[in-house]
Amino acid sequence: MSHHHQFYIDGEWVEPFARAMLDVEDPSIEEPFTKIAIGSRADVDRAVSAARRAFASFADMDVADRLALLRRILAAYDARAEDLARALSREMGAPIAFARDSQVAAGKAHLVATIGALETFPFCEQRGTTRIQKEPIGVCALITPWNWPLNQIVCKVAPAIAAGCTMVLKPSEVAPLSGLIFAEIMEAAATPAGVFNLVNGRGDEVGHALAAHRDVDMVSFTGSTRAGISVAKAAADTVKRVAQELGGKSANIILRDADLDQAVRDGVEACFGNSGQSCDAPTRMLVPAEWHDDALQIAREAAEGFCVGNPQEDGVDLGPVVNLAQFNKIQRLIDLGIEEGALLVAGGPGRPDGLNRGYYVRPTIFGHVTADMTIAREEIFGPVLSILSYETEEDAIAIANDTIYGLAAYVQSGDLDHARRVAGRLRAGSVYLNYPAWDTSAPFGGYKQSGNGREYADWGIHDFLEIKGIVGWGKSDG
């Protein structure tokens, strides 16, 4: 049975108070393929009330029981993996292999990492005669984006459960079906009633109502910096905690002791993954000035090797971007790059040849980009790479840090100690040396306008906890 027209509240699938519906579009054909119900303040009130009623008993649940719940969720998630992949491919245009191997796999990886972290997580410690206790913060509003739906749902839901919090999830209305399947997973895992609730809706309605709600103790939000500011303002009147993972414009510094060919090719691939729709994508490649033209040739060859097309077909590397608004934004920024004097090396405006329908973007490379150009400063969120040059290493570090964002940075070097020294000077929450494997135990979050708080493994659990000091407790029993 489809739950597209329902919400999951207090352990049951319920009808919305109002019968407002929203089309869900397939970006590969530019046509709606289903509708979802969208909520109102009344639906938010019902969900928050359910979470509030469930909080006291769930907060007191033994860690062993919360671990058992997370393991049941993991088993139910595995059982629905193919359903999740197909929903993601349809709602956001992810190539089906990428949906399976990256999008769905990311959610599973976070469940596994959170389970591992909870097994040894220290909820209390002794400092002299003071006892430090870490306790669940309360009812949490979880607001997640469309670009990595399961990654962001799981790396909020799993640590909230580990901490003993109850929650209301609002998935992106652009890509909501994976969130509805996730709610079915939570039901299948016998999650206690009221612990997990889902209400679909628009950010300026349901998201705002959750952020401003007096009975919500914390908001965990992932999305654009613009939307994050709105969430923080809505939350301010009730002085609730707000954890945010926002935009990025990540620099990728290729040092003079790097293998240029490999570094550039891998950098193009890292930038274009998920059709460029990743907040931590390395979208600004910095190369030594004397290597600039060689880097452009390598990048052109790499870009031309990407297959853009129907996400349901085998062998496709890049599907469409998620919707018309995103497509138009990317086209505007590509046009601005040309107007402001950047050299168009590959790709450019319009759809790839042979694709006349769908929000497909040509994999685009710009060279001779300067740090003051719009494409070097704004988050494009599409398969567009800007290549800048630098004279000295000091210049490269200064250019990398010259941004309002600070989510991620990348350093490529043949000398690991050299890369480490540069990493230490970059103002970013994550720095990746020589394109390492993804690490779900590493903290993820940003400096500056890329947000606050950290996600993944035990770092995520900390965000959902309050810290209590009981002074005069006495000596530790152990």
What positions carry a catalytic annotation?
245, 279
- State how far the alpha carbon of 242 is from the alpha carbons of 73, 142, 293, 462, in Å: 26, 10, 45, 13
Tokens coding 54: 């469930």
Q: Cα–Cα–Cα angle for 195, 84, 66, nearest 5°? A: 30
> What are 432's strand-pairing partners?
410
> Distance between CA 104 and CA 429 in Å, rounded?
24
> Distance between CA 129 and CA 220 in Å, rounded?
34
Tokens coding 474: 């006495």
DSSP-based three-state secondary structure for 139: strand
Q: Are 228 and 244 in contact (CB under 8 A)?
A: yes
> What are 197's strand-pairing partners?
168
> Distance between CA 283 and CA 379 in Å, rounded?
8
What are the start-end ranges of the E strands in 271-311?
284-288
Give the count of beta carbons closer than 10 Å to the beta carbon of residue 455.
Answer: 26
Q: Are 72 and 189 in contact (CB under 8 A)?
A: yes
- State how far the alpha carbon of 363 is from the alpha carbons of 28, 101, 175, 249, 366, in Å: 16, 22, 23, 17, 10
- State how far the alpha carbon of 106 is from the alpha carbons of 150, 276, 455, 472, in Å: 7, 17, 13, 44
Radius of gyration over every alpha carbon of the chain, rounded to an integer in angstroms: 23
Q: Are 114 and 456 in contact (CB under 8 A)?
A: no
DSSP-based three-state secondary structure for 242: strand
Tokens coding 25: 């579009």
DSSP state of 444: B
DSSP state of 374: G
Q: SS3 letters for 163-228?
A: HCCEEEEECCCCCCHHHHHHHHHHHHCCCCCCCEEECCCCHHHHHHHHHHCCCCCEEEEECCHHHH
> Distance between CA 11 and CA 53 in Å, rounded?
12
